[in-house]
Amino acid sequence: MSEAALLFDLDGTLTDNFVGIARSIRHALERLGADVPDEATLRRCVGPPLRSSFATLLRTDDASVIEDAIAHYRERFADLGWRENVVYDGIPEMMGSLAATPRPLYLCTSKPEVYARRIVTLFGLSEHLAGVYGADLAGRFDDKARLLAHLAATERIDAARATMIGDRSHDIRAARANGARSVGVLWGYGSAEELAAADARVGTPAELAALLSG
């Protein structure tokens, strides 16, 4: 088994992709003739699997309707949306600091892996990562607990010694389901209340680096 690993969420943890995600969701809903929600509702869609977000927005469990929405979303996101993104202040320094420790860093995101790879490469974060794991386009790893288990099995990581870092409750649930430690970050899309079950919470990337370097 490898050294105890650090597993990072992407949206709301390393980068802020709200603009690209929100505009692509609006594009999909407009194509379907559906109502476009307010910004607060759209912000809740950043982090969870897209299929569950569209099921909620469209008030349906009809898989064909949800897949149509995803197809419309991706026609914009694949071209423009993934670039409408910024790295949070302090993240490059934090990633560089942690990459200098013996603990390997991995990306573990509900975003489709094809887009996640583009984003971490665009922002120069990929050089710090031992691997990038995300959902596939068919939704096989929409459940983040399943994705984390897949990452651990593929990389031969002891999940009980790993730490999942993220900004939403599903990051914390995925860690708990796999026996991993969790750290909630408060600069993303989840509230302190949403992250209450995390083993630790931090307010800045510098605090996170200090916590994980100890």
Active site residue ranges: 9
Collapsing DSSP states into helix, strand and coil, what is residue 73? Answer: helix
Q: How far apart, in Å, are the Cα atoms of 42 and each of 29, 50, 177? A: 12, 11, 27
* Tokens encoding 78: 């694949």
Amino acid at 108: C
CA 212 to chain centre: 19
50: alpha, beta or left, given left = phi > 0 and alpha = psi -120 to 50? alpha
Burial group, residue 198, by CB count within 10 angstroms (0-12, 13-18, 19+): buried
Strand pairing partners for 184? 166, 201
- Per-residue DSSP letters for 10-63? -BTTTEE-HHHHHHHHHHHHHHTTPPPPPHHHHHTTSSS-HHHHHHHHHT---H
